[in-house]
Amino acid sequence: MKKNVFMGLRILLGLVFLIFGANKFFQFIPMEMPDGAGKDFMMALGATGYMFYLIGAVEVIGGIRLVLNKCVPQGLLLLAPVVVNIFLFHTFLDPAGFVMGAVVTLIYVVLVYDNWKAIKPSLLP
């Protein structure tokens, strides 16, 4: 039962990153622009001309690894900066999306806990 829960969470998070990462390339889901500082941040990322594509590529690669259950610890490490940014962005710049950012972060932390034995050697000497 416990194994099925972790598998379900892994696939769910993988699909979230796969879909929203692909959306950065193909814009098939309309995204609402946040207000205030959140909008300024998003506009600055867009102004670079490459940042959304880079973030999208990281999300797609990490999402595929989670969905296919291939190199999951490396996929989780790849997604770490994205998850931290999602949480901080929704905490400080777009509080309306806080719940979704917190859910993504919570699922991520649960998956890191489940894969800690494989992740630990990459982080600690």
Map residue 70 onto helix, strand or coil.
Answer: coil
Report yes or no: 6 and 110 within 8 Å, Cβ to Cβ. Answer: yes
User: What is the C-alpha to C-alpha distance for residues 15 and 67, in angstroms, rounded to an integer?
Assistant: 7
User: What is the C-alpha to C-alpha distance for residues 87 and 93, in angstroms, rounded to an integer?
Assistant: 10
Confidence (pTM)? 0.94
How many domains does the chain fold into? 1
Domain that holds residue 23: 2-123
User: What is the C-alpha to C-alpha distance for residues 64 and 46, in angstroms, rounded to an integer?
Assistant: 24
Report yes or no: 78 and 61 within 8 Å, Cβ to Cβ. Answer: yes
Tens-place pLDDT, residues 17-55: 999 999 999 999 999 999 999 999 999 999 999 999 999
Q: At what angle do helices 72-88 and 51-68 cross, to 10 degrees?
A: 130
User: What is the C-alpha to C-alpha distance for residues 9 and 121, in angstroms, rounded to an integer?
Assistant: 23
Tens-place pLDDT, residues 57-105: 999 999 999 999 999 999 999 999 999 999 999 999 999 999 999 999 9
